[in-house]
Amino acid sequence: MDRGGAEGSSSWGGGDPAAAATPSRYESQKRRDWNTFGQFLRNMRPAVGVAQCNSSHVLDFMRYLDQFGKTKVHSQGCTFYGQPEPPAPCTCPLRQAWGSLDALVGRLRAAYEENGGSPESNPFASSSIRMYLREVKECQSKARGIPYNKKKKKPGAPARNHDDESNSSSSSSSSIPFS
């Protein structure tokens, strides 16, 4: 896979040496996530190359990461199911939080394309990944008893309606399902 040098790519390969010396926090995390995913694929038996991976490998990776999670997700049989502040400990598993998985998928989606993958074959952009994230979000919301609400706009921010978006010259972020 190509590791940079193309126009619009990150500072992982060629480009400005000053930018390569001090990547942003986001770029550092994206690179770390990409390397972790690559190691996960290499450790599979048989090993899978990034070019051969598909959405099922991505789902396996997200399930694998659950063992390192820090978010208590109560099972439906737990007496604390649906309680945001349980009064006592329980044996329910720790999992990756929905927001962490969503951010991870976004970074890996970008890294895949920056490393030579085509947007059309990006396994991180598949509908099965979006569906899995939606299920995790709903499950964790019910288990905690706290619904996930969209963030409200800050006061003073200009309100944009749908007509403004369709007439604007930028169409970059409005069509991307993971932001």
pLDDT one-digit tens code per residue, 90-143 = 888 889 999 999 999 999 999 999 999 999 999 999 999 999 999 999 998 888
Does pLDDT of 148 surpass 50? yes
CA dist., res. 159 & res. 139, Å (int): 32
Query: Which is more confident, 113 or 13?
Result: 113
Q: Is the pTM of this model over 0.85?
A: no
CB-CB neighbours of 41 under 10 Å: 17
Per-residue buried b or exposed e for 117-130, using 16+ beta carbons within 10 Å of the residue's own CB? beeeebbbbbeebb
Per-residue buried b or exposed e for 51-64, using 16+ beta carbons within 10 Å of the residue's own CB? eebebebbbebbee
CA dist., res. 27 & res. 63, Å (int): 24
Highest-pLDDT range among 19-23, 144-148, 164-168: 19-23
Tokens of 6: 């193309």
Nearby residues of 172 by Cβ (< 8 Å), 6 or more positions away: none
Of the chain, the percentage scoring pLDDT greater than 70 comes to 70
Does pLDDT of 4 surpass 80? no
